[in-house]
Amino acid sequence: MATGVSKTKMNGNLQVSTSENGNYTYHPIWQNGNSANRLYFGDNYTVMNDLLHDESVRGKIRLIYIDPPYATNSIFQTRKQQDAYTDLLTGEDYVDFMRERLLLMRELLAADGSIYVHLDNKMVFNIKILMDEIFGASNFRSMITRKKCKSKNFTKNSYGNISDYILFYTKSNNYIWNKQYDQWSKDKILKEYPFIEEGTDRRYKRVPIHAPGTRNGETGKMWRGMLPPEGKHWQFTPAKLDELDANGEIYWSSNGNPRRKVYLDESEGIAIQDIWLDYLDINNQNTHTTGYPTEKNLDMLKRIVLASSNKGDLVMDCFAGSGTTLVAADELSRNWIGIDIGNEAIKVMLNRFQNGTQTLDEHIGKKKTKGMETPTLFFEDETEKAGIVPNLVLHHLIDEYTIYVNGNYSGEEFCLP
Ligand SMILES: C[S@@+](CC[C@H](N)C(=O)[O-])C[C@H]1O[C@@H](n2cnc3c(N)ncnc32)[C@H](O)[C@@H]1O
């Protein structure tokens, strides 16, 4: 996994550059030379209102990803126990807070732009309804379920909560979409493409040449003395089937059944679906992290940036936190705008831009816990091995290390590494 951006690449200017447009009340606190990249310190409501007056930004942002507070009624701390941000708005107040900001985001988004909103099970349905209202239900594209952490054993009386959700909307029907694929694994190849073509050694699978539904046109006609099976039609016209057969791309079974050969070397990979299992947040000591609470997985952000923007596009995260979106955008040669209201977030981002990230060990390794010898005890599987009662471990984690300070949050939804 990448560890952040290089010092030189993100070496920006901490001095505020004054805008020629006197309307602006906010100026970036970090800007990289003349590039479009900028980081703002302030309430995103005010900053985005300002950005509406900036012609290089309004209607020009190709991708917005946000990971706002989730209405947890909690205060979050960094791993070094600094207050990072509060998440105390709940219910209607929370929805109103999101509404006024999502309306601004819609204005800032390009006509072919996309927006991804990351939430957990508390407010995702309320915000889905709000997004339908603001972006239009017909512009809803996906609701991605992400596995956020390893399985939990301490959840009582219910199923372990290891998922969160990303709502993906576009501004219109015509939007940037770079389909994403996973690479084939050896096992999957053997299962899915079990045949080797004689003469070429190409690996392939056999698929039917018909599809459901009757057709009156060419694809419903006789081919090689056969009609499509009852209720079906040929996937290709008889002329195209002749061509495929002439190229050796039709396999004939011993009882005369035709099947089309689909070759592995023509596959781009396994198309990504809407359940993401590979992007857990910080989950072991070797994971590089800023130490900021709720820091998201950099590779997950890269997938989103790749799918919904192109090189040179403008990407915005107006709840930037530790700057994961900005780093993903930067590493993939996109321009970016980051906004955050928190001192700690700004401090963490500036440090990340200059020094990258550290392993979890480096963040927590030096601090000893009461009665526990080594930080490896923070990991669920290690605690099990050590025979520690899971509830006590959770309690201990909350006392000693975590992101949870007060509020009425049970803590169970957090994935404590
Ligand atoms: C869940 S964190 C984002 C974490 C981020 N995705 C990451 O990978 O580190 C939410 C962030 O939103 C910021 N925030 C909350 N309200 C805000 C507001 N009105 N304007 C700007 N930032 C805000 C908080 O300071 C916090 O850093």
Provide long-range contacts, Cβ within 8 A and 24+ apart, for 410-414: 412/152, 412/154, 412/155, 412/161, 413/72, 413/120, 413/121, 413/161
What is the amino acid identity at position 277?
A: L
Measured in whole angstroms, how far is the alpha carbon of residue 256 from the centre of its chain?
47
Burial class (CB in 10 A: 0-12, 13-18, 19+), 218: middle
* Pocket around ligand 1 at a 6 A CB cut-off: 43-45, 67-69, 85, 292, 294-296, 319, 321-322, 324, 339-342, 345
Query: Ligand 1: which of 341, 347, 350 to mutate, most ligand atoms within 8 Å of CB?
Result: 341
Check if the beta carbon of residue 303 is closer than 8 Å to that of residue 180.
yes
Residue 410: pLDDT band (50, 70, 90) is very low
Residue 84: pLDDT band (50, 70, 90) is confident
Residue 411 has pLDDT above 60, yes or no: no
Ligand 1 atom nearest residue 301's Cα: 8
- Spans of all domains in the chain: 30-180+273-364, 186-266
- 258-313 pLDDT, tens digit each: 999 999 999 999 999 999 999 998 766 667 788 888 899 999 999 999 999 999 99
Structure tokens belonging to residue 329: 């955008």
Q: Which of 144, 139, 145, 130 is nearest to 109 (CA)?
A: 139
CATH class of 30-180+273-364: alpha beta
Query: Ligand 1: which of 50, 99, 340, 347 to mutate, most ligand atoms within 8 Å of CB?
Result: 340
Burial class (CB in 10 A: 0-12, 13-18, 19+), 107: middle
For atom 14 of ligand 1, the residue with the nearest CA is 319
Ligand 1 atom nearest residue 290's Cα: 9
Which residue(s) pair with 270 in the sheet? 182
- Give the pLDDT of residue 298: 94
- 47-66 pLDDT, tens digit each: 999 999 999 999 999 999 99
Residue 296 CA to ligand 1 centre (angstroms): 11
Residue 162: pLDDT band (50, 70, 90) is very high
- β-pair type (61-66, 314-317): parallel
Residue 360: pLDDT band (50, 70, 90) is low
For atom 3 of ligand 1, the residue with the nearest CA is 321
- 224-259 pLDDT, tens digit each: 999 999 999 999 999 999 999 999 999 999 999 999
- 16-35 pLDDT, tens digit each: 333 444 444 567 777 766 67
Check if the beta carbon of residue 404 is closer than 8 Å to that of residue 76.
yes
